[in-house]
Each structure stands twice: as structure tokens, then as C-alpha cells.
Structure 1
Amino acid sequence: MDVVRLVAGELRAEISPAVGGSLAAFWTEAGHHRRTHWLRPADQQSIGLRNPLGMASFPLVPFCNRIRDGRAQFEGRQIRFPPNHPAGNSPHPLHGIGWQRPWAVDSANRHAVDLSLQVAASPAWPWSFLAQQRIELDERALRVTISITNQDEVPMPAGLGHHPYFPHTPGTRLTSATTAMWVADEDVLPVRLETGEVVDRLRSGVVLGELDLDNNFVGWDHAARVDWPADENGPQRSLLMRAEPALGYFVVYSPRDADHFCAEPVTQCTDWLNLMPRFGRAPLGGARVLPGERLAAHFDLIPSLA
């Protein structure tokens, strides 16, 4: 299937299984076919070219964001992940495997779709696993559940998350409570934790045009609110993201003057395997998944028109 559409009341969602099992769009369709988009909608070119960077949101599995130089080790096995950024030459691979492979549709109806991805062990990721997503829609919200099952014979490191792109129009405000931010180097890799101005401003709500961020946050309270002013794209409106405790880390990517930003619920911070010996697990997250064990997490996107 090129696109699976979900319908519930005035809410709509479209999923592109072939494009990394990604969400292609999530919107409210009111009278006269007026659409209010809650995520940046994919265009037909991105779908046709199978470009996940042009989608509304894509899955992060078996790790989130970057691993420095694609090199890490875990309990005697070496990770040798090649560069994989489709739009650059960075040596640091990002976002895992799932976003760049087609997913199978296991079942689908008007309100939900179940997707799966089978991955064999390789030098890039020397553990075999099964990734699954359930994307479901009711008249109030969109829920995304993502999971990974270790199908190998030894424990496997794992991280999960999603990478939603939200519309960024003038006056867009983001509110989310965290306790600290990872300061990143020129390669967008974490180097130290800081509290202070950015954390305080996010907690009280900040107009995103005043920031330029690509950072991980810890101590997240599992919720984020986006507020958009009335404009040509719709009336005054808001969206609440609620995540379960497993998604205890938060990434904000908000490049200055861009027409989009990302607010990502994740289970681990960037490059966690390499930073763990120095900082410990608490500020980094990540999981150790036993053979046959399944790690799962979900989040909800709850939109509201004023």
C-alpha cells in the first residue's frame, strides 16, 4: 500500500508503509474541506522518492538520533554503523534502521494500522530484531505505539522514539518541562548537561522563533504543548503531546527561520552507548533488552481548535 488512511470524526491520518513506516499527514477536516494540519504534511515527491525526511513523522528504532562515527560496543559486540544521512556526508549515522526501510502492513482498518519490520543481524547492528508500530485514531487523538523485540541469543541495547515535524509559523509557542539540556558540539553530539535559560524558557513556554535548537533534554515530564496563533493556516489552535514514562527523554530540533520544528519523544539520548561510561544511565536512558523480550512505548497527539 502506498498510503493507508485512518478516519475518526473530523480527524484524519495517512501512513506510508513503504517510506520507513512513516506518518505522511495528520489533520482535522472541517466544513468545506478546510484542513488544519497538526503535522507538516508530506508532499507527493517525498512519498514518490521514499524520502523519510519529507514525511510528517518517522519511527526511530533501534536507536534515536546519532551515534558518534557509527562506532560503539555493548557487552562484547561491536557496532559498526555506516553513514546514512540521505542529504549530507556526516560520519555520524542517525535515527536507526526503521526509517529507511519499507514496513509490512499486518492489518488495517478505518481506525488503526499495524506495521512490522524484520531486521537481521549485520555488522551495522549485530542483533536481529522485530520492530512493530500500531497507529490508531479516535475522534480525540492519534496514538502511536512502537516496539522492538529482541530475536537474538544475547541481550541487545535499544532505543525507541518518533520524529514528528510540526508546522512552524510566526508566533508558534512550545511549552515543556524538563530539568536539564545536553549541550552539543559542532557535530550535534552531546558533551555536557546544563540547566539555565533554555530549560527555564521551555518550561514557561517560548516562542520558537527566538531559539535555534538541536538538543536533547532530560527530566522530561512526558508532555509538551504547541500553540499556534490564528493565521492563514487556521484559527488559534493547540496540540498536546502526552507520552508514557518509557519515553522519558525529549529532543527539540528548531532551526531558526525554518517552516517546521521537531519535538521528539524518545527513550534515550543521542550517542548514549558511548556516553554511558562517563555519565551513567540516568541522564542518558536506553534499554537492555533480553532475548525474546519486547520493549514498547506509546505517545498521543491531542489537537484542539479554539
Structure 2
Amino acid sequence: MSNDDITLTAGDAEVSVLPGNGGRIGGLRIGGTELLRQGERFGCFPMVPWCGRIREGRFLDGAAVRQMPLNSPPHAIHGTVRDGAWRTARVSRDEAVITYELVDPWPHPGRVTQIVALAEDSLTLTMSVETYDDSFPAQIGWHPWFHRSLGGDDVRLDFAPAWQEERGADHLPTGNRIDVEPGPWDDCFGMPGGVDVTLTWPGQLELKVTSREEWVVVYDEQAEAVCVEPQTGPPNGLNTHPRLVTPLEPLEATTTWSWRRL
């Protein structure tokens, strides 16, 4: 099938899926109100086969040291799939399945599948990475850009992480876990019971971002948007917390955004 844009609907919720632009969610509208920052680099993009930054773009892959392009010098950031065109495998009124074949510069062939499932009060994103051949380390995550304001007061973030990853001068976790510091953040947090972050736009909407994964990056240093990014490991995790994709065991993760009107 093609990589044309897809629109899903359920009740008064509408989601646009953009296979041709990195498999990203282009928009989420609830009752006509757009929650995601608009623009070709925004919306909500998948982070695969790694999340956040890899130190100097290098990671250990078995005995080999791999070098990724430094797209955020001196590091490599957010994986490769957001830069490619995905294909639509199937689509219905409220669900789309899209796929992406891993290609250079990633050194291993494999397939990424993303399922986008919309309900009247929730959006569930499920992603898997499978290999055709060799085992390799990988990560899965999502990078949504939520509007800071929906026309009223700024969004309020509420979450209770067990720790914050100490961030070094190079923007990467040092390996030390510290007590949560006040924002603004471009930081990774540990939530061993699963990611659970509530965004509240006062008087308008409450949205919960949940996932069984235990890592979340919160980025709120920009005036326009706030990012809440569930992921299967911390930044630089291909080196520090590698999750292996094997022919018998793909890597899979899910996040759900659920909302209610206030």
C-alpha cells in the first residue's frame, strides 16, 4: 500500500498519521482542539532503533563498534526511522498499521511495525522491532510535542518518578540516580511501576501518558511545547541498558494517552 496520510476518527477525536513523514502522528484533535504542535518536525514521532542521544554516535554491537551519523553534534539523536518513509499495511476507521524496513545507516536489516489505535477517549501506540537475521540492541520510544497552552493557562505536569538520571555537561546520563530536581527539564526519569504522567490544561483537558516501560524523558525547555517521552531505556541506552532484538524475541512497547474533559 501507499504512504499517503491517514485520518482516524472515534467519537469527536481525530488523529492524523503520516507514514511518509517518519511514521509520525501529525495531529490529535479532540472536539476540534489540536493538542500537538504542528510542523513537519513536530507532532509525535517514533524513536527507533534508539531514543535520545548516543554518546558521539557510537555504540557496542556485540564485538563491533558502530558509528551513527552525528545529527545532533557531538551525538546521534532519536534513531533513524523518523527520517524515512513508512508503508501502510492496513487501515480502518479507527486503526492504522504502518511498517518501516531498517536500512543504512543502521547496520542490521529488520522491520519496525507501529499500530495506531484510536478510541473515543484514548490513543494507543504500539511499536515492535524484529530482526530477519542477526540479533542487535535497540530501543523504542515516542516523542510527542504537546502544546504548552490550548488558549488558556499553561499545561501542568504531574508525575512521581522514583529517581532522576543525573545529566552531565554532555546532556547524557552520568549513571548516577538523584532526587528529582525542579524543572525546566531535558531529563530522564525512572518510574519502575510504569510511566504515568498527567498533563492538565486547566479548565480544559486532562491527558494521561502511561506505559509499562519504566523510563520517561520530559523536555519542557521550549516556550511552545512540552514533551513527555516514554521509552524502553534511558538516553545512551544502547550502551548502558541494551535491549536485544533476536530472531525469536522482537522488542515491543506500548504507550496509551487517555483524556477527559474538565
Q: Structure 2-normalised TM-score?
A: 0.91
Q: What is the aligned partner in structure 1 of residue 139 from structure 2?
A: 159
The answer to whether residue 244 in structure 2 is matched with residue 291 in structure 1 is no
Number of residue pairs the alignment of both structures matches? 256
Matches of 1:171 and 1:98 in 2, distance apart?
A: 31
The SS at the match of 2:56 is helix
Against the structure 1 CA distance between its residues 262 and 197, is the aligned structure 2 distance closer, same or farther, given a 3 Å change threshold? same
The answer to whether residue 229 in structure 2 is matched with residue 264 in structure 1 is yes
Identity %: 27
Q: What is the aligned partner in structure 1 of residue 36 from structure 2?
A: 39
Highest Rg: 1 or 2? 1
Q: Give the conservation status (yes or no) of the 8 Å contact 1:151–1:292.
A: no
Matches of 2:215 and 2:249 in 1, distance apart?
A: 22
Matches of 2:207 and 2:180 in 1, distance apart?
A: 24
Q: What is the aligned partner in structure 2 of residue 168 from structure 1?
A: 148
Which sections of structure 1, spanning at least 5 residues, go unmatched? 30-34, 47-52, 202-210, 231-235, 277-284
Q: What is the aligned partner in structure 1 of residue 27 from structure 2?
A: 25
The answer to whether residue 218 in structure 2 is matched with residue 252 in structure 1 is yes
Q: Give the conservation status (yes or no) of the 8 Å contact 2:163–2:180.
A: no
Matches of 1:101 and 1:171 in 2, distance apart?
A: 33
Deviation for aligned residue 1:193: 2.6
Matches of 2:177 and 2:215 in 1, distance apart?
A: 15
Which sections of structure 2, spanning at least 5 residues, go unmatched? none
Deviation for aligned residue 1:291: 2.4
Against the structure 1 CA distance between its residues 194 and 78, is the aligned structure 2 distance closer, same or farther, given a 3 Å change threshold? closer
Q: Deviations over 1:92-149 (max 9, x none)?
A: 11111111101001111211111001114x4x43221100101011112111111100
Deviation for aligned residue 1:292: 4.4
Matches of 1:273 and 1:136 in 2, distance apart?
A: 28
Q: What is the aligned partner in structure 2 of residue 208 from structure 1?
A: none
- RMSD of the alignment, in Å? 1.7
Greater strand proportion: 2
Deviation for aligned residue 1:152: 2.2
Matches of 2:226 and 2:45 in 1, distance apart?
A: 14
The SS at the match of 1:143 is strand
Alignment of 1:1-306 (within 5 A): 1-29=3-31, 35-40=32-37, 42-43=38-39, 46=40, 53=41, 55-85=42-72, 90-120=73-103, 122=104, 124-153=105-134, 155-169=135-149, 170-198=153-181, 211-220=183-192, 221-230=194-203, 236-243=204-211, 245=212, 247-255=213-221, 258-274=223-239, 276=240, 285-306=241-262
Greater helix proportion: 1
Q: Deviations over 1:243-291 (max 9, x none)?
A: 1x2x2201001105x11010000001111233x3xxxxxxxx4411222
Q: Give the conservation status (yes or no) of the 8 Å contact 1:159–1:267.
A: yes
Matches of 1:127 and 1:259 in 2, distance apart?
A: 37
Q: Deviations over 1:5-61 (max 9, x none)?
A: 0011111000111110000000112xxxxx222322x24xx2xxxxxx2x2100011
Matches of 2:18 and 2:224 in 1, distance apart?
A: 22
Q: Give the conservation status (yes or no) of the 8 Å contact 2:162–2:189.
A: yes
Matches of 2:221 and 2:113 in 1, distance apart?
A: 30
Matches of 1:115 and 1:138 in 2, distance apart?
A: 18
Q: Give the conservation status (yes or no) of the 8 Å contact 1:269–1:286.
A: no
Against the structure 1 CA distance between its residues 248 and 263, is the aligned structure 2 distance closer, same or farther, given a 3 Å change threshold? same
Matches of 2:238 and 2:74 in 1, distance apart?
A: 17
Q: Give the conservation status (yes or no) of the 8 Å contact 2:10–2:118.
A: yes
Matches of 1:193 and 1:218 in 2, distance apart?
A: 12
Q: Deviations over 1:217-266 (max 9, x none)?
A: 11343211001124xxxxx22101121x2x2201001105x110100000
Q: Give the conservation status (yes or no) of the 8 Å contact 2:161–2:180.
A: no
Q: Structure 1-normalised TM-score?
A: 0.79
| Shift >4 Å, 4+ stretches | none
